Every structure is written in structure tokens, then in C-alpha cells.
Amino acid sequence: MTTPTQISIPGYAVGTWVFDLAHSEVSFQVRHLGVAKVRGRFDDFEGTIVTADNPLDSSVNAVIRTASVNTNTQMRDDNLRQADFLNVERYPTMTFTSTGVRADGAGFLVDGDLTIRGVAKEVTLNVEFNGFGTGRDGKTLAGFSAYTEISRSEFGVTGGPAGAAVSDKVAITLELEVSKQD
């Protein structure tokens, strides 16, 4: 998405950045039986951010391997991998591909297509830029926090009979550290 607005970010660097899995997290939260919040994460994912001359022309692509779902409860994780939930055999990945970036006060809104179980829906990530730094290896680092909510049923994640115990609304949180590639 091209826009005439130019954003200035101190220390900003143009380039390609990759997710640092050791310092990043893709997590989610749902309500269980309407009374408790249950959290989980995906342990296997990758992504790239390409920063453009104008930050609003930047892009993000991410791939999450669904079998890596982890709620710290094996029985629940096995259930989430089944056909009624993530169906990891048929849909081994979820993807996010950005379609635009907008300024939003001190943060950004990143619009994009989220694909789960082969169903693509447009979602908006509320993104906070956490700053730039230098890693021990001398590479330039950047940090981002992002948040969105989705309706799991819109992506065909019904959960079958077990799905009745879990809220339709899923909160998704990303904590990302990325390193600039030379």
C-alpha cells in the first residue's frame, strides 16, 4: 500500500529482517467454559519483515506450523491437532501476509491475510514498535509487539463437541525480535 505520508522513526533501517525464534513468541488465549483464560503458543514458526524507505510501504510474511501448538497439556494439544480444530495433517501451516501498513498514533496497524485451515480472512494487527538494538554478533535487531483477535469459527475451527467449552474469540499476541540480514 503506497501512501504519501512519510513516517520518521529514529534509527530506522531499510532491509530484510528475519524472526529470531529464541527471542520471539506466537501465543494465543481463549476462554474455557466462560470462566478461565487458557493460553497456548506455537513453537515452530518463521517470518520475514521487509522495511521500505517509507515504513508504511513495509511488509510482513509469516508461517506457523500448526503441529507445534503447545498449551503445556499434552491431551489438550493432541485434541487441538485433530480435524475439528487445527487439522494439522491436512493443514500443516497457518500463514500471514501483510497487505498494508498504517500509522496509528504511536503505533501501527498492519492489515493482512491470515490463512487458517485453508480459509483466508483479512485481519488487522495492532503493532507497537519496541526499538532497535545491536546483538552480540553485531547484527542490527528490532523488536515488535502485535495483537489481534479472531473468530475461530470463521476459519472453520469448530472444535466439534469439545468446541462448546472454548470461546469463539481467540486473542493472538506476537512478541517478535528480528535481525537484519546483510
Q: For the segment 89-102, what is each residue's pLDDT rounded down to a tens digit?
A: 999 999 999 999 99
Taking CA atoms, 88 is separated from 64, 67, 102, 116, in Å, by 11, 6, 33, 10
Contacts (Cβ under 8 Å, ≥6 apart) of 168? 151, 152, 153
What are the residue boundaries of the structural domains of the chain, listed by start? 18-180
Cell numbers 514458526: residue? 45
Whether residue 3 has pLDDT greater than 60: no
Query: What pLDDT is recorded for position 5?
Result: 63
Cβ neighbourhood burial of 34 (10 Å; 0-12, 13-18, 19+): exposed
Class of domain 18-180: mainly beta
Task: Specify the pTM.
Answer: 0.92
